[in-house]
Amino acid sequence: MTYSSATDSLNLECRARMNGATLKTIREALGLSVPWFANFCSVQERTVRHWESGRNTVPIAVAAAIREFEKAAAELVTQLVDQARTAIAVYGMPKGPILAVRYASDEDLNRYQPNMAGLPATFHAAAIARTRWALAQEVEIDVKMLNAPAYEAWRQSIDQPDSHELREQFAAQYE
């Protein structure tokens, strides 16, 4: 091993480490509760609290996992911002706010956004909030909670397959 490769290894490990305050800040900003995160990490809730308080060292694998969630959230926000900007470019500036659909429960999120299966609805809500902040100087975003049972009854009454656009249409009319 050369000095350079040893230094690179040390730098990589230092970048992989995370202190408790950083873990807590990122976890909370992502909308991940202590119980959810503890379950995800297969540890007791008190273990998460000990990491976040600095009592115990944050394991490198946990730091890597929260960074992956942070990356996924950033990608989701970028996707939502791009969708809004594309709609504005195609259709012009809306007369009112752009609608964003929020899911009332983890089950609803998993059902209607299968690409987010396993994540809590609060993760999606945090991404919507970050999207609002990113677009605050450009357009208003109005968040509507999807009432899944009412949506399903309505959707079946009009004999339409589920789609993101249909959920937005329903949420805009019925809240």
CATH of the domain at 160: 1.10.3100.10
> What is the C-alpha separation between 168 and 32, in angstroms, rounded?
25
pLDDT at 2 exceeding the cut of 50:
no
Q: pLDDT (tens digit, 9 = 90+) per residue, 4-20?
A: 443 343 344 556 789 99
- 3-class DSSP state for residue 43? coil
| pTM metric for this prediction | 0.86
Structural domain including 94 reads 3-173
Q: pLDDT (tens digit, 9 = 90+) per residue, 134-173?
A: 999 999 999 999 999 999 999 999 999 999 999 999 999 9
Total of domains in the chain: 1
- Cβ–Cβ under 8 Å, residues 103 and 109: yes
- 3-class DSSP state for residue 100? strand
